[in-house]
Amino acid sequence: MKHHLTSLAVAAFLACGGAAFAQSWPSGNIDYIVPYPPGGGTDVLARQLNDQIARKTGWNFVVLNVPGAGGTIGMDQLSRADANGQTIGMGQTSNLAVNPALNPEVKYDPQAGFTPIALVNTQPMGIITYNDSPYADFGAVLDAARAEPGSIMYGTPGTGTVSHMAVERLMLQGGLKFEHVPYTGIAQAISDVMGGVVDIYIGSLPSVMQHVEAGNVRLLAVTSLEPHPLAPDVPTVASLGFEGYQATDWKAVVGPAGMPEEAVTALNTAINEALADPDLRAALEAQGSVVLGGTAEEFKAYLAEEAATWAEVVRAAGLR
């Protein structure tokens, strides 16, 4: 993944008329759809990124929070917006790669329905257990699941979330059987895992690390391919006999299908420049993010791969 545009890419942008286009675009505010409520992780990230872009370009973003149905209501609205480059938004793993395969009522096509603009960041999941748990490490959890299928109860933020799909993928790859306990909020989930109501809980690494650092729970594993800087000594699931395994919550900027190429290039350039800013980069990394960026074409290929991966998990697991 290339994290910065090359000088050749910028030159190509200028050569194709991007400079002239930039004089007439954007024509006023840029509406920015966030498919979750204000104050959540996606909303905070979108505003951090937009503020940095606005400082460099003078563009004015108007964030429109359109929550509901796991982010699919906002994404559906975005897919039906005018493709003139004045409306964009932030999608992620769940509403661009998981829910369209999981829920037949989702109306948009995650690939044909959007214009890929740029990847922004990714965060792995963290798997935690209670302090007095008999499972010293995640290998012991796996051994217990193999010895007695269905004996391990795992909590997640809800059905169809990346956390849920991460365990479904784990079970498929390892021939395992866990029992799912979906929650609607992390507060009750953390309370239950601390009390041993569930054996393990899997959530975004930043959301569980504060409880790990407070000494309330123990972190057993992470779902990135490589060890994570927030927990460098904690093993990855992939290192425990699940070659190639990863499950991450990535976020990316998209627009309606058919956006002008010049708008995509201008936005992609601005996003990459913003993500290269040391202060923003440090802030995102402190939140547990791996900063991405790269070209729109790279994001398009990544989205196709992720959509295929999670659609196969949904199909193989018989989920609906």
CA quadruple 91, 95, 100, 105: dihedral sign: negative
* 168/32 Cα distance (integer angstroms): 32
Predicted confidence at residue 5, as pLDDT, reads 39
Quote the CA–CA distance of 247 and 310 in Å, as a whole number.
Answer: 10
Average pLDDT over residues 131-157: 97
Q: Could you tell me the pTM of the whole model?
A: 0.86
pLDDT for 23: 56
Of the candidate ranges 10-19, 125-134, 238-247, the one whose mean pLDDT is the lowest: 10-19
User: How far is 279 from 282, CA to CA, in rounded Å?
Assistant: 5
How far is it, in rounded angstroms, from Cα 195 to Cα 216? 10
Considering the domain delimited by 124-239, tell me its CATH architecture.
3-Layer(aba) Sandwich (3.40)
Condensed to tens digits (0 to 9), the pLDDT of residues 24-68 reads 789 999 999 999 999 888 999 999 999 999 999 999 999 999 999
Distance CA 118, CA 35 (A): 17
Taking the C-alpha atoms of residue 177 and residue 171, their distance in angstroms, rounded to an integer, is 6
- For residue 14, pLDDT over 70 is answered with no
List the chain domain ranges.
Answer: 30-123+248-317, 124-239
User: Which residue intervals of the chain are DSSP H helices?
Assistant: 7-15, 18-24, 41-57, 72-79, 93, 99-102, 138-147, 162-174, 186-194, 205-213, 261-275, 278-286, 296-317
Tell me the mean pLDDT in the region 163-188: 94
Average pLDDT (234-263) is: 96
Q: What is the pLDDT of residue 186?
A: 82
Contacts of 23 (CB under 8 A, 6+ apart): none
Answer whether residue 237 shows pLDDT above 90. Answer: yes
Q: What is the mean pLDDT of the chain?
A: 91
For residue 221, list its beta bridge partners.
127
Query: Cβ distance 272 to 4 under 8 Å?
Result: yes
Q: Are 120 and 32 in contact (CB under 8 A)?
A: no
Mean pLDDT of 307-320: 92
Taking the C-alpha atoms of residue 124 and residue 139, their distance in angstroms, rounded to an integer, is 19
pLDDT at position 152 is: 98
For residues 183, 186, 191, 194, the Cα torsion angle rounded to the nearest 10 degrees is 100
Q: What percent of the chain has pLDDT over 70?
A: 93
CB 320 within 8 A of CB 153: no
Is 135 strand, coil or helix? coil
Structure token digits, residue 45? 């990230």
Q: What is the pLDDT of residues 73-106, one digit of tens each?
A: 999 999 999 999 999 999 999 999 999 999 999 9
Query: What whole-number distance in Å separates Cα of residue 45 and Cα of residue 121?
Result: 9
- Find the mean pLDDT for residues 10-33: 64
Can you read off the two tokens belonging to residue 157? 């933020």
Q: Is the pLDDT of residue 281 over 70?
A: yes
Look at residue 159 and tell me whether its pLDDT is greater than 70.
yes
For range 12-26, the mean pLDDT: 52
Q: d(Cα 1, Cα 178) in Å, to the nearest integer?
A: 34
Instruction: Mean pLDDT check: name the lowest of 7-16, 35-44, 206-215, 287-296.
Output: 7-16
Instruction: Mention every residue, 6+ apart, whose C-beta is less than 8 A from residue 92.
Output: 42, 71, 249, 250, 251, 252
What one-character DSSP code corresponds to residue 226? S
Both tokens of 283, joined, read 């802030």
Look at residue 175 and tell me whether its pLDDT is greater than 70.
yes
Say which CATH topology domain 30-123+248-317 has: D-Maltodextrin-Binding Protein; domain 2 (3.40.190)
pLDDT the model gives residue 2:
41
Q: What is the pLDDT of residue 172?
A: 96
Same fold, 30-123+248-317 and 124-239: yes
Residue 209 has pLDDT above 70, yes or no: yes
- pLDDT for 41 equals 87
Pairing of strands 200-204, 153-156: parallel
Peptide bond into 104 cis (omega under 30): no
